[in-house]
A and B are shown apart, each in its own frame.
Chain A
Amino acid sequence: MLITQIKSIKEIIKFGIKKIFVIKCIGCKEVYFPEKDVDNLINELTNSNIEIIQTISTEYLCNADFSKIISEKYKSQIEYVDSILIFSCGVGVQVVSSILEDKLVLPGCDTLNIPGYQGLTSQNFNCDLCGECYLNYTAGICPITSCSKSLLNGPCGGAKNGKCEVNKEMDCGWEKIYKRLSKFNLAKKQIDVVKIRNFLKLQEGVIGEKNETV
């Protein structure tokens, strides 16, 4: 069962979003989708003067072909907004982020668990179910799965010609993250942020306190 926990509003509005397009992914068969929490968060966002252009429900965002069709279908609405807020597992967020290169794609929830069922998971992206989705801090590229050391605070300095020290076939995840953060002017804003992982979140399906940054 896919289990997600909705992020606190603070973890979303700090990225300076103004106009957003919201996608709820209800694809996985046995999904635990906290519909009510999502609606509450959307209300809170509206009350915080964030303009929600449209909210859609769909399925299998993790399937890139399918996500491309959706982004074509809602092209005019998406063009109008600055950010996309997505309620899905980490794969869905990464897939949409890779399709919509010029939009900031933010996760609306933390993915805790997907035992036994992986939906139509993309081959190109991975969600490690860390329970505290960092994709909002890293402009839609996962530092846990795209960095061989799963570093949270920047590149290790071991990359050569853009390739990882562990595997020369693998791109340095942080070089890509940095580039994308710079595109949205988000790198400077993170200079004071120290991220430390909470391994308690790895314990099966633990829905606990909402994550806050140090």
Chain B
Amino acid sequence: MKLSELFKKGKFVITSEIGPPKGWQVDKCIHEAETYLKGKVDAINVTDNQSSVMRFGSLATCILLKQKNMEPIFQVTCRDRNRIALQSDILSAYAFGIENLLLLTGDHPVLGDHKDAKPVFDLDSVSLIYAVKKLESGEDLAGNKLEGEPPKFCIGAVVSPCAEPLDPQLFKMEKKIKAGAEFFQTQLVFEPEKFVKFMDIVKKNFGKVYVLLGITILKSVGMAKYMNENVAGVFVPDYLIEELKKDKEKTKSGQTGIEIAAKLIKEMKPYCDGVHIMPLGWDDKVPHLLELAEL
């Protein structure tokens, strides 16, 4: 089912994500999704060689999820494929009933484990959205007619609401909306006041566009500090770091992180259309988080 249908019904949409393994044996990854996410979230986003680290493919994982009656969101980045391969993979996905896409530019290869790889970026997030809209109109990017019925997707994109400066982000967000993005998944948010301000600007300037709040479970003080140093658009405020420091055992078990995440969700829920949980390996903690956040 397309996420847009859920948004239109006014449902507070819940999505999570899985990262395929480095290897071909994906049973464990699919089994985890079935155990911890199936029936609890509306859709599962499958990352595309996340952080530029070579892994099992997003498309194949999406197909496996679909076979187990889970709703996948096919994440597609522009880092590894040119416009021919991108359009081809997206058409292929549709044949397997994959209707939700998350279209990104993607990290640069130097951030991953094949630093010497060719960075493709033939298209970027905006032109990829444009390409998918072309496919939906029955033509490819070069203007050639597609055979048979055109596909019809629900197109998602990403935005970073706590980035500084914010204006260039809003500029690109608006370009993505104009190109055809229907929903946005945000970068991780730890600063509700910034998010509320961002949503206010979005509602005033861009009209109705659906936004999924990006949330993760903080695992440790080190993780928070690392993100503050290295991850674009992510700032974990000091008071949250203090909370993680308070009870080492509780933080280690994940309980502190879950409590923080639940509190953040509750605080920002009135301002957005759904939440996207990035468990970063802690899939087993998602059900407890959803419970605590009363979702």
Give the secondary structure class of A's interface: loop
- B124 touching A151, Cβ below 8 Å: yes
B126: contacting residue among A158, A178, A194, CB under 8 A: A194
The minimal Cβ–Cβ distance linking B85 to chain A, given in whole angstroms, is 14
Q: Report if A154 contacts B (CB, 8 A).
A: yes
> What are the residues of chain A within 8 A of B105 when measuring CB–CB?
149, 151, 156-157
- B123 touching A149, Cβ below 8 Å: no
- B174 touching A156, Cβ below 8 Å: no
B171: contacting residue among A148, A154, A156, A194, CB under 8 A: A154
The minimal Cβ–Cβ distance linking A195 to chain B, given in whole angstroms, is 7
> What are the residues of chain B within 8 A of A153 when measuring CB–CB?
124-127, 172, 175
Binds B, one of A20-28, A36-44, A68-76, A159-167: A159-167
- B178 touching A157, Cβ below 8 Å: no
> What are the residues of chain B within 8 A of A148 when measuring CB–CB?
108, 119
Given A165-B111, A194-B127, residue A157 in contact with residue B121 (CB < 8 A): no
Chain B residue total in the interface (Cβ 8 A): 36
B130: contacting residue among A154, A158, A214, CB under 8 A: A214
Whose C-beta in chain A lies nearest to the C-beta of B165?
A: A175
> What are the residues of chain A within 8 A of B230 when measuring CB–CB?
160
Tell me, in angstroms, the Cα distance from A63 to B107 when the chains sit together: 35
Given A150-B121, A197-B122, residue A157 in contact with residue B232 (CB < 8 A): yes
The minimal Cβ–Cβ distance linking B56 to chain A, given in whole angstroms, is 24
Query: Size band of the A side of the interface?
Result: 20 to 34
A159: contacting residue among B121, B175, B232, CB under 8 A: B232
Q: Report if B110 contacts A (CB, 8 A).
A: yes
Q: Report if B221 contacts A (CB, 8 A).
A: no
Whose C-beta in chain A lies nearest to the C-beta of B122?
A: A197
Whose C-beta in chain A lies nearest to the C-beta of B234?
A: A160
Apart from A155-B168, A166-B108, list 16 A-B contacts with CB within 8 A.
Answer: A149-B119, A149-B124, A153-B175, A154-B126, A154-B172, A155-B169, A157-B105, A157-B169, A157-B172, A157-B187, A158-B232, A159-B232, A160-B231, A191-B171, A194-B126, A197-B122
Question: Which residues of B are interface residues toward A (Cβ below 8 A)?
Answer: 83, 105, 107-108, 110-111, 119, 121-127, 130, 141, 158-160, 163-165, 167-169, 171-172, 174-175, 178-179, 187, 230-233
